[in-house]
Amino acid sequence: MKKNAQYLALIAHVVESKLAELDGVELGVKTGRQLQFAGVDGNGAAWSPAEKRTALGELFTDVGLRAGLEVLFETPAVLLEQFCVMAQANKHDAAQLLNIIRSSFLVAYLTPETNERAYQHLEGIEALRTELISQRGVAGMTMQ
């Protein structure tokens, strides 16, 4: 689906606001920013902060284009950053993962034969998230 210039500009604005929000959050477990890019350039030198920011901006843009502007806008910056970094570290496509999570749950939930199991899996994931918050006291692990 081709995106118009206004939509692309809106995505760029949201991406920049997410990156600016991250600029004000310290790295570390307590802030939820424990994962970082470990990229290297063509000469084997570690990425500079600017290169890491550029790479993250590209991933955020991809999420906005492929998973949707609302997903990009509504997902807290720290959560989105950590999700994208983990996906990258595992050689997974962040936008595709978000789409798979959404579509897989919807299909399983709307099917009468799998509705209850789908909901139980959702509750299991939510329990895992709650456990992490309890154990680590990690900020930024909610969508509110």
The per-residue pLDDT for 111 is 97
The per-residue pLDDT for 40 is 73
Query: Among 9, 24, 2, which Cα is nearest to 77's?
Result: 24
The per-residue pLDDT for 39 is 75
What does residue 43 show for φ and ψ, rounded to 5 degrees? -95, 5
Give first-to-last CA distance, the chain, whole Å.
30
The per-residue pLDDT for 99 is 97
Q: Which residues of 97-125 are buried (b: 16+ CB within 10 A; e: fewer)?
A: bbbeeeeeeeebeeeeeeeeebeeeeeee
DSSP state of 27: -
The domains of the chain are located at 5-136
Q: What percent of the chain clears pLDDT 90, i.e. is strictly above it?
A: 73
Lowest pLDDT segment from 5-14, 39-48, 74-83, 121-130: 39-48
- For 68-107, what is each residue's pLDDT tens digit? 999 999 999 999 999 999 999 999 999 999 999 999 999 9
- Mean pLDDT for 10-34 is 94
Q: How far apart are the C-alpha atoms of 36 and 140, rounded to whole Å?
A: 16
- pLDDT over 60 (residue 48): yes
> Residue 58: left (phi > 0), alpha (psi -120 to 50), or beta?
alpha
